Structure 1
């Protein structure tokens, strides 16, 4: 019987790469996001290519009513979720603290903390009932260090780190694994979103680097998800070879 993975933010980047990786390994896949057209296209590709069951769910993680309705309303056959890839998140803007947009702050807090927690709690209840499951949370190197003009984004990823630790403690009696993955520089749609579509500014982030790509993170997540039942990687920071941390790069 195929296992089931639930992936948020599956319309691009890490989420989409995870959907392809798990489907290629015979997982049935619940893919979620706000962009219905992209979800439906991905569902069609996964079904045709890998012959697995795919359930696309369109909702905004920031809306707790939508999250509850989507998870609680799952057909019974889909409620046995083995892995949650809690990926939906974003950076919005890169400004000094006193100049930052409050709208950007609200978007990041609502998505990266509240939406992240809404989904994790809703899915964790299904896992608690079965006394098994694995929650994989997407953090960032910004969860470990704070850098200039990263203010609220870094704060939200520090919250992801703290919430991952809290989940791990509270869900321990139910044998639920919690893994936090903290990527460094990764060339995905992420930077384009952060710089409001400014492709030149986004590309500068990776100048002189061979950065991570979405598939690198998907491979790592899949590895963590497929370890023996008694093994859990709690916390993992992953960077490209030319990056040591938030501050030190070897740019060619």
Structure 2
């Protein structure tokens, strides 16, 4: 494990693996550099690139500094890019894709290319009403320090079956999820915003090459969102990974990333 110090003094933990051009991985909600399929993704990418996988602030081995601001997370990314030599490719998944997009806009030439998988914006009016209600309830639960209930609330939002949620409450990973539950507010209230609408005007400011991806077996709105983002960006390519859900298989994702970053 390595660390960098962000502009506000926060220590950010990261791992570095492989050789070649730098690819920085930006996680979505409730993820760390060691959870889910991340180790397999790093392993496959490291055969082609130098891969930086890090714990976003408030997660894993990274510190946190209050109050939270999206700008501080972008400064974290900049510190990592500077440690890597001053320029990098970015890959962001889910809300991490939204953060990566904002990072690309703000850091200019330090980000050479951007790949995004299923940034969960949604222009459907009914979904936006549900999102606002979710944010209200999330804020109340976190204010009461009911972290487990906040995690469960998010899982219900993404349609995890109730019996599966209850089973997870007794699993070894649950305390880890509770520990980083406050970061749900970072990803959702701060990064995705009060209604999670597709920020096409913001996306239009991304001038570097972008690969915008969705899964062929994922939520239908994800493809609509990916299409809207790609159409707003001046140098974007839209790609559907057939058979993939929101939890994309690294064996399918990595060839697309290698092709895009190697062009």
TM-score (norm 2): 0.41
